[in-house]
Amino acid sequence: MAPHDLAGVPAQAPAQGERETRTPIKGVRKFTAAAMVSSAFTAPHVTEFLTVDVTPTMELLAKLKASRAFAGYKLTPLTIVAKAVLIALRNHPTLNTRWDEAKQEIVQYNYVNLGIAAATPRGLTVPNIKDADRMSLLEISTALTELTDTARAGKTAPAELSGGTISITNIGVFGIDAGTPILNPGEAAILALGAVRKMPWEYQDEVALRQVMTLSLSFDHRLVDGEQGSRFLQDLGAILSDPGMALAMV
């Protein structure tokens, strides 16, 4: 099997006896690296964690997959979490803002372009779903499938990579439980989803085997204070632990 560089692109096989291989930094990886360094050293990051019993969400997901209305659609925990994020944002608009340093203004977005981090052969990209807040669960499912398929094929248009307002990265697909995601430039928050694991958990005053996920929320402390970030994360966890709670937030 051919060796790969950090972007997942096959690298030239090292000559016999060589102790290192050098690959030019260019393209998507160069752009992504510059953006992440700028974000990390410009926005004061804070990361909070919440571990949630998502058994009811996983049960809902199974019911939706079996329903006639969702036949042929790709549904994953990310689909449900994306919708939950959009619902929770309605009560916490500060997480959907931008710090304009040049004009010394806080920009409040009155729409949500939901960024979804996608690993591609060229490196990490974060295309976004335009006006995701106006979409039904079915529409979000379709948009997520198209977005990830296009990104993995390396066909994402530049317009789809710009204009995001808040993002989600699904590190759980790699078996990771939690992390400290770096904000995308121009965004106030990013949510990392951990792996869904069966764990002993307190349930109805007893210990039971439940499906559990850790949510990691990073936010720009210039725009979002600790209470605002915590309450958003709390509401998101409430929806995922009891999807019916979404009715009280719309």
Q: Is 236 helix (H, G, I), strand (E, B) or coil?
A: helix
Distance CA 117, CA 144 (A): 11
**Residue 172, class by beta-carbon neighbours within 10 Å (0-12 exposed, 13-18 middle, 19+ buried)?**
buried
Q: How far is the C-alpha of 109 from the C-alpha of 96, rounded, in Å? A: 6
Of 4, 45, 92, 221, which residue is the catalytic one? 221
221 is catalytic: yes
Q: Which residues are catalytic?
A: 221
